[in-house]
Amino acid sequence: MMRELADNIMDIAQNSISAGASLTEVHVTVSHEEDRITFVFRDNGCGMSEEMVRSVMEPFTTSRKTRKVGLGLPLLRQTAEMTGGSISVESTVGVGTVVTAAFGLTHIDRPPMGDVAGAFFSLVMMNPDTDFLFTFDYDGKDFTFDTRIIRETVAPLPLNQMEIASWIKDCLSTEINELHGGNFS
Amino acid sequence: MKSLAELQAIRNRMIDQVSMRKDDSIDTRVVVGMATCGIAAGARPVMLEFVEEIKRRGLENVTVSQTGCIGMCRLEPMVEITVKDQEKVTYIHMSPEKVARVVAEHIVNGRPVEEYTIGYQG
């Protein structure tokens, strides 16, 4: 199991990059009313066949050629299910993939959310040439971060240029912190 | 989003400096293992600390990037550092606390921190 849900975010979003996505969306929703945390990952990568979608939850499924394990989705599933939540994967070859995971917000076994801003930032920093759309909805208050807008603003500089990266990092942590007032883990 | 005007100002300020620098100015590469195994072992705070420390010291010739699983998951978080033309050095079981020393001794002064490396016999 990952120590923090933020680690799952990084891990699963990385699958989209590996699938050649030019845009990877990560939507995080926290709802106290529904007692739910929801993650939606949507990408325009290469997608998967029906057969692959069926087997992708198994730990011995991977598209990698070097070895035969892939633990990202099984770990996410384990965490979702042990907190009374669930996971679903929909995919179309040539169109993209949507992974949805739900967790019980107040379930005793739910790992802490961890540093979501840090996870978003790491994804941008490590993959400066692809685009991300991040949203974080906290009990109806929401925040959107779109690297396409940032890219346009800073062009021709890359998103991982130190000063720009630093602005992105501050922006993500300030805005996300404002949503929940720093009282949420 | 935070003020884009502020970002625009940073861009305008940096663009002059960057154009004065040559493309080959990057001579040090920090590569963090960021597959499922690396992330589960705590690669994210390690990577964030490298970025922070490099910025703190104003090192402009260093890039931080990621790699996948290289098959030694039990040694994660792993970080590979290549300084100039020197041989690649692989650090294992990294933590945010070890980062400042690696940056100071290896990246700045060119002496790898032997005791954190993969071949170290303690």
Contact yes or no for B40 and A171 at CB 8 A: no
Residue B2's pLDDT is what?
Answer: 61
Is the pLDDT at A61 greater than 90, yes or no?
no
Rounded Cα distance between A25 and A121, Å, is 14
CATH superfamily ID and name for A5-179: Histidine kinase-like ATPase, C-terminal domain (3.30.565.10)
Establish whether this prediction's ipTM goes over 0.85.
no
Which portions of chain B are predicted below pLDDT 50? Answer: none
Mutate: best of B11, B31, B46, partner A, most A CBs <10 A: B11
Asked if the Cβ–Cβ distance from A118 to B44 is below 8 Å, we say yes
Which chain B residues contact residue A150 at CB under 8 A?
A: 7
Contact B77, B45 (CB under 8 A): no
Mean pLDDT score, A39-52: 94
Residue of B90, B96, B94 lying closest to B112 (CA atoms): B90
The fold of B22-116 is Glutaredoxin (3.40.30)
Beta strand extents in chain A (DSSP E only): 23-31, 36-43, 86-92, 96-104, 131-138, 141-146
The full set of domain ranges for chain B reads 22-116
Q: What pLDDT score was predicted for residue A67?
A: 60
Rounded CA-CA distance A119/A114 in Å is: 9
CA gap A42, A23 in Å, rounded: 8
Nearest-Å Rg of the Cα atoms of chain B is 16
